[in-house]
Amino acid sequence: MSSNVVWHNATVTRARRETLNGHRGVAIWFTGLSGAGKSTIAHSVEERLHQAGCRTIVLDGDNVRHGLCSDLGFSTLDRTENIRRISETVKLFVDAGVIVLTAFISPQRADRLRARETLGVADFIEVYCRCSLAECERRDVKGLYKRARAGEIKDFTGISAPYDEPELPDVTLDTQALSVEQCVEHVVQNLVMRGVLPGGRV
């Protein structure tokens, strides 16, 4: 970083933004295999929070790769840079008092740990969407597993690239056994328990 770059402190602080919003800013980091339900659950949680008057945004892996990370591939180094950029973007939103829901495979445990360090333990909620590879392949909502099995997609998580399961996730959702509604309720109640949301708001 250049020595000519100096941090500017704003008069409107995060605490003032959160007071205006009526809730804390926080990152809810959904991780899991492709097809495990990350995006579906993240958007469903956002809908529930939005209806309760919360300031929210979902950052989806595919959408981010259309813009912010459109220059990155799926090598280990590119995946790490992808998560680094996302983490810094999420940090800006959290500082604005927004509840940020991210839906990224983020397969490397080390990258998720760095994201937690970037955001701070109190502002990072890791949600593991646990679903077997067989079930994700059965769903194959985007047809990606079929293409990966055929060798058309390289470095595909779960097939030709590894996925590091979270060791101590803040929330584990068994998306094979639970409905979307049940998963949403688990996440929302965790937010209430942490004091992100007032108990009677949602």
Angle at alpha carbon of residue 57, lines to 192 and 29, rounded to 5°: 60
Please give the average pLDDT of every successive group of 10 residues along the chain, which has 202 residues. 70 93 97 96 98 95 80 87 94 97 95 97 97 95 92 93 95 98 97 88 73
Of 34, 106, 132, 179, catalytic: 106
**Non-local CB neighbours of 80 within 8 Å, separated by 6+ positions:** 108, 110, 111
pLDDT of residue 61: 75
- Domain ranges in the chain are 17-193
Asked if 34 and 144 count as a contact pair (C-beta separation under 8 A), the reply is yes
CATH of domain 17-193: 3.40.50.300
106 is catalytic: yes
Task: Name the one residue in this structure whose structure tokens are 């680094």.
Answer: 84
Helices (H), the chain: 14-21, 38-51, 61-64, 76-95, 109-119, 133-139, 144-149, 180-193
pLDDT of residue 164: 96
CA distances from 172 to 94, 116, 121, 142, 200 (A): 22, 17, 17, 24, 24
**Non-local CB neighbours of 132 within 8 Å, separated by 6+ positions:** 176
Residue 27: strand pairing partners: 100, 124
Residue among 44, 186, 161 at smallest CA distance from 103: 44
